[in-house]
Amino acid sequence: MKVLLINGSPNEYGCTYTALNEVAETLKKNDVESEILWLGKKPMPDCIACFKCQTNGECVFRDIVNETSARIDEFDAMVVGSPVYYGGPNGRLTSFLDRLMFSTSNSKLAGKLAASVVSCRRGGATAAFERLNMYFSMMNMHIVSSQYWNQVHGHTPDDVRKDEEGLQTMRTLGQNIAYLLKAHQAAADRGIDQPEYEETVYTNFI
């Protein structure tokens, strides 16, 4: 069992990392492997709606999106972390997720566990949190909850370390992910298969 934690902050070891690392440490205590992927500081191309990925199986922009998509089968769960910018997740991360979700086969993502984590100085956390969860709910991924919305508060990593409730929320999230991964494995061992889905129907309103 392995979890991919995506750090969408331009600061590799900032507040968002501090929250994700709390999740990672809890997973480790529950014998679940994890990896934190930092998206870096370079500009992230937006999806340009060229639909090339639907025919060639990968995004036309050959960067970290394709690298991550090629490894997606390695992971059983995904946790996406973002700082809050003007009440929403940051642009680099949403560009990454737009392209990752659209260019990666739905069958590769369906059934995986997913969660989002947001970090803010003061406000806007719940709006950013809801925005990120919308990616997962369109991909048949199972959203994992915690004891509160998955947010930490602070202007610096040291501030975040003082947010006792926020860090506890991260640990509870890690516990829930570990439990559900083990439950999924137990179900598979008993021959309980993942759901089989109908072919997707698109309704276009004219």
- Please list the pLDDT of the chain residue by residue as tens digits (206 residues): 999 999 999 999 999 999 999 999 999 999 999 999 999 999 999 999 999 999 999 999 999 999 999 999 999 999 999 999 999 999 999 999 999 999 998 889 999 999 999 999 999 999 999 999 999 999 999 999 999 999 999 999 999 999 999 999 999 999 999 999 999 999 999 999 888 888 888 898 87
Rg (CA), the chain: 17
Determine whether 121 is exposed, middle or buried from the number of CB atoms within 10 Å of its CB (0-12, 13-18, 19+): middle
Residue 105's pLDDT is 87
Backbone angles phi, psi at 43, to 5 degrees: -60, 140
Structure tokens at 195: 């759901």
Residue 206's pLDDT is 72
DSSP assignment of 23-67 equals HHHHHHHTT-EEEEEE--SS--PPP----THHHHSS-SS-SHHHH
Determine whether 110 is exposed, middle or buried from the number of CB atoms within 10 Å of its CB (0-12, 13-18, 19+): middle
Residue 152's pLDDT is 98
Distance between CA 171 and CA 90 in Å, rounded? 24
Distance between CA 99 and CA 176 in Å, rounded? 28
Residue 134's pLDDT is 97
Instruction: Give the relative orientation of helices 164-189 and 15-29 as an angle to the nearest 10 degrees.
Output: 40
Long-range contacts of 54-57 (CB under 8 A, 24+ apart): 57/103, 57/105
79 membership: H or E segment, kind and range: strand 77-85
Determine whether 153 is exposed, middle or buried from the number of CB atoms within 10 Å of its CB (0-12, 13-18, 19+): buried
**Entry pTM:** 0.94
For domain 2-189, the CATH architecture is 3-Layer(aba) Sandwich (3.40)
